[in-house]
Amino acid sequence: MSNRKHRIAVIPGDGIGKEVIPVGQRAAEAVAGKHGFTLEWQDFDWSCERYAETGAMMPEDGIAQVKEFDAIYLGAVGFPGVADHVSLWGLLIPLRRELDLYANVRPVRLLRGMTSPLAGRGPEDIDFIVVRENVEGEYSNIGGRAYQDSDQEMVSQLSVFTRRGTDRILEYAFELAKKRKRRHVTSATKSNGIVHTMPYWDERFAAMAKNYPDIGTAQYHIDILTAHFVQHPDWFDVVVASNLFGDILSDLGPAVAGSIGIAPAANLNPPRDFPSLFEPVHGSAPDIAGKGVANPIAAVWTAAMMLEHLGEGAAAQELEAAIETVLEDPAARTRDLGGTADTRACGEAVLKALA
Ligand code: NAI
Ligand code: MG
C-alpha cells in the first residue's frame, strides 16, 4: 500500500460550480481508492455569495491560505448581482497572477459518444490541446484615457510580451508536444497587422523550435486559424497562443468538440513553485443553477487533469475512460447533450463505470 496523499483546496464558487464539483470529488475519490493514494480536501466558500455578505470574494490572506496545497479545484465564479469584472478580478485573476499560473491548458478531444457540430467529423479528427499564455500579453492594465469627453478623446492599452513570459509558454508547448503522438506545435500569430509584439512572438517561436528538431511546426495568423479550427481540426496537435488569441481559441476549440458541459481546463504553474488550479471551462450557468441538471462531466474530466498533474496518471486515464463509457450511453447523458439524466444520475453513471 502506498501512502501518497494529495491535499486539495476546493473552491466550488457559484451556481452550478457547487453542483458539479462534488461529483468530480466523488469520482476522484473512487479512483484514488483503487490506485492507492488518498485525497484530502479542504473547502473554501469564496464566491459571489461571500462577496454579498462580506464585501470580498476571498479573505485578505486568501492566496497565502491556498498556497500550501498541492492543487486547487475550482467550480466557477460569477453570479448575477455581482458585476463579472468584480468577481473575476476579485478571485480568479489574482489566483492566476499571484500563483504564476502562466499556462492555461485546454484539451479538445471529440470523445466517443459525442457529436461534433462539424459535419462528418469523428474522434480521430479532433484531438488537440490549446496552450494559452495566462498572465501577460494583451491583458495588461497599462494604458489610460486622455482628453476625456472631448473630440480628441483617446484611449490606449499596452500589450506586454516579455522574453521570459514568451519563452516559457513556448517551451511548455514544445515539451507537451514531445509527449504526444503527433509531436506538432502550431503558433497563433498576427505579425502582419501587429508589427511589434507579434513579429517578436514569431521570432521566439522559431528560436524555440530550433531546440526541438523532432517536433513539426506551423504558424497561422489568428484570423485564418479560426477558420482552420472549423474546416481542418485534424491539422492540430498542440496550439500555442498569446493571452488574447488563446482565450478565443480555447473557447472555439471545445465548441468544435461538442459541448461546453464537458470541457476541462488547467491553469498550470509548470515549475511547481505554487499549486496549479483546475477548473471546468464553463461558468456558473445561472440559467440552470439550482435545478440539478448541470452536466458534471467537465468537472470530472477536470479532476482527471488534476490527478495527472499530481502524478497519478493511471488514475487519470481511468477517469477519462469512464467519461467515454458514460457518454456512449444515451440514458446517462445530461440535457445539454440531448439526454434526460440529471447531475446526480450522470454522476452515478460515472461511479458505476469506475466500479
Ligand atoms: P456559462 O458557461 O455559465 O453558461 C453558458 C451556457 O452554457 C448557459 O446556457 C449554461 O446553461 C450552459 N452550460 C454551461 N455549463 C453547463 C453544464 N455544465 N451543463 C449544462 N449546461 C451548461 O457562461 P455565461 O452564461 O457566460 O456566464 C455565467 C457566469 O459565469 C458569469 O458570471 C461569468 O462571469 C461566469 N463565468 C465564470 C467562469 C469561470 O469561473 N472560469 C468562466 C465563464 C463564465
Ligand atoms: Mg474565455
pLDDT of residue 258: 83
The answer on pLDDT for 1 being more than 60 is: no
What is the arithmetic mean of pLDDT over 292-299? 98
Ligand 1 center–CA 322 separation, angstroms: 24
For ligand 1, say whether the CB of 78 is within 6 Å of any of its atoms.
yes
| Locus of grid cell 486515464 | 317
Of all residues in the chain, the percent with pLDDT exceeding 90 is: 94
Choice from 282, 297, 344, 346 to test ligand 1 binding pocket (greatest atom count within 8 A of CB)? 282
Q: Which ligand is nearest to the CA of 92?
A: 1
Q: Using pLDDT thresholds of 50, 70 and 90, give the confidence band for residue 163.
A: very high
pLDDT at 351 over 90: yes
For ligand 1, say whether the CB of 177 is within 6 Å of any of its atoms. Answer: no
For the Cβ of 264 lying below 6 angstroms from any atom of ligand 1, the answer is no
Tell me the average pLDDT across 298-303: 98
Give residue-wise pLDDT tens across range 251-279: 899 999 988 899 999 999 999 999 999 99
Ligand 1 contact, 288 CB (< 6 A): yes
- CATH class assigned to 116-257: alpha beta
Q: Which CATH number fits domain 1-103+269-355: 2.40.50.140, 3.40.50.1820, 3.40.50.300, 3.40.718.10?
A: 3.40.718.10
Which residue minimizes the CA distance to atom 17 of ligand 1?
261
CATH 3.40.718.10 positions along the chain are 1-103+269-355, 116-257
Average pLDDT over residues 87-112: 94
Within 10 Å of residue 148's Cβ, how many Cβ atoms?
10
Kindly report, residue by residue over 103-160, the tens digit of the pLDDT. Answer: 999 999 999 888 899 999 999 999 999 999 999 999 888 999 999 999 999 999 999 9
pLDDT in the model for residue 2: 60
The residue whose CA has the least distance to atom 10 of ligand 1 is 285
Instruction: Scan for cell 488563446, then name that residue.
Output: 246
Q: What is the per-residue pLDDT for 276?
A: 98
Q: What is the mean pLDDT of the chain?
A: 96
Ligand nearest to the CA of 12: 1
**b/e map of 267-295 (b: 16 or more CB within 10 Å)?**
bbbbeeebbbbbbbbbbbbeebbeeebbb
How many angstroms separate the alpha carbon of residue 248 from the centre of ligand 2?
Answer: 6
12 lines ligand 1 (CB under 6 A): no
- CA–centroid distance, residue 121 to ligand 2 (Å): 24
Measure 239 CA to ligand 1 centroid, in angstroms.
24
pLDDT, tens digit, for every residue of 5-46?
A: 999 999 999 999 999 999 999 999 999 999 999 999 999 999
The predicted pLDDT at position 113 comes to 85
Nearest CA to ligand 1 atom 6: 285
- pLDDT, residue 92, reads 92
pLDDT of 180 reads 97
Q: What value, to the nearest 5°, has the Cα angle with vertex 226 and ends 199 and 201? A: 15
Measured distance CA(279)–CA(52) in Å, rounded: 23
Q: Provide the whole-model pTM.
A: 0.94
CA of 282 to the centre of ligand 2 (A): 9
First-to-last alpha carbon distance for the chain, in angstroms, is 20
The predicted pLDDT at position 160 comes to 97
Q: Stretch 49-68: mean pLDDT, rounded?
A: 96
Q: What DSSP element (H or E) covers 128?
A: strand 127-133
For a mutational test of ligand 1's pocket, the pick from 20, 260, 267, i.e. the residue with the most ligand atoms closer than 8 A to its C-beta, is: 260
85 touches ligand 1 (CB under 6 Å): no
The average pLDDT across 317-323 equals: 97
Which one-letter DSSP state was computed for residue 92? I
Chain centre distance of CA 11: 15
pLDDT recorded at residue 353: 97
298 CA closest ligand 1 atom index: 18
pLDDT on residue 140: 85
CA-based R_g, the chain, Å: 20
Distance 45 CA to ligand 1 centre (A): 19
Pocket of ligand 1 contains residue 247 by CB under 6 Å: no
Relative to the CA of 286, which ligand 1 atom is closest? 28
Q: Residue 310 pLDDT more than 90?
A: yes
Residues in the 5 Å CB sphere of ion ligand 2: 247
* For the CA of 282, the nearest ligand: 1
